Amino acid sequence: MSGINAGLPSEIRVYSTTSTLNGRAFHAWYAIADLSTGNIELKATLSATAQKPSQVIAASTGETTYVMTNGGYFGGSGSGVSSYSLVVDRGAKKADNIGTLARGSYSYPVSRGAFGVTQTQTSMIKWCTDDYAYEIPSPNVEGEFPQTSTSQTFPTTAEHWNPYTAVGGGPILIKDGKPTFDFTTTTSGHYMTNYELLQSDIFSPTIRPPRTLIGSTTDNRIVLFICDGRQSQSDGATLLEQVQIMKALGCVNVLNLDGGGSTAMIANGKLLNSPSDGTERAVAAFVSFVKKK
């Protein structure tokens, strides 16, 4: 997108595609940032009130924002908004991943995905709870008896993860170059690898909503990706299609963020996509490429 890129530093390039996806109309945008020069950094933002990405950018003072997308999951609206996903802003934790979910007659302690960077902008991807981070998720299966609560030793040895910047969501789509899920079902019809217990409008082999993703490549470039969906000009993407797309872009770690009507990308001050709500949705959390302070 030469017009957009003309107003961005050379470390960030933004792309758009209208190539069909498995024979369906598809429109996607992605920004790739090289954070190794020390001029650009990843930033996560939590708002006390629900706001649109363009409002957050407009209200920021002393901050140069180059690209922004919506972040993780949230509930409520207006001044009653709350984040269900991790937000760490330059070393300060603003919100945690949700730690317990009610599904049917059970209450499940869960670990959900998070993507972060160190202060030197080296990327990491983990499954996180309030206090700990893990290399594997707690293996809950909806409809079955809950796993034990996460701890220093379960589901594996925990680490006290202290990212400089991080954003939560779910599910983790790719870790260390490998997809982390499939759609194998139990005899009762529940998905065996839906470890993060995401609802059916997110975790399904067939649904194709708008999507927002964050990922990293082997050379530690960070990718923010969105696609439109639920529209005649863009029919969205399944989770497995997103795995294929992000692997094709060179990503070895990928986290799914909030999608649907929340999906939006602003680059060089311009809204690039057509949100399925008809306009930007006011959300709680945001992730962006900004000028390093």
**Residue by residue, what is the 3-state secondary structure of 34-57?**
CHHHCCEEEEEEEEEEEECHHHHH
Phi and psi based region of residue 163 (left: phi greater than 0; alpha: psi -120 to 50; beta: remaining): beta
The strand pairing partners of 21, in sequence order, are: 24
Per-residue confidence of the chain (293 residues) as pLDDT tens digits? 999 999 999 999 999 999 999 999 999 999 999 999 999 999 999 999 999 999 999 998 889 999 999 999 999 999 999 999 999 999 999 999 999 999 999 999 999 999 999 999 999 999 999 879 999 999 999 999 999 999 999 999 999 899 999 999 999 999 999 999 999 999 889 999 999 999 999 999 999 999 999 999 999 999 999 999 999 999 999 999 999 999 999 999 999 999 999 999 999 999 999 999 999 999 999 999 999 98
What pTM does this model have?
Answer: 0.98
For residues 49 and 74, is the Cβ–Cβ distance under 8 A?
no
Q: How far apart are the first and last CA of the chain?
A: 26
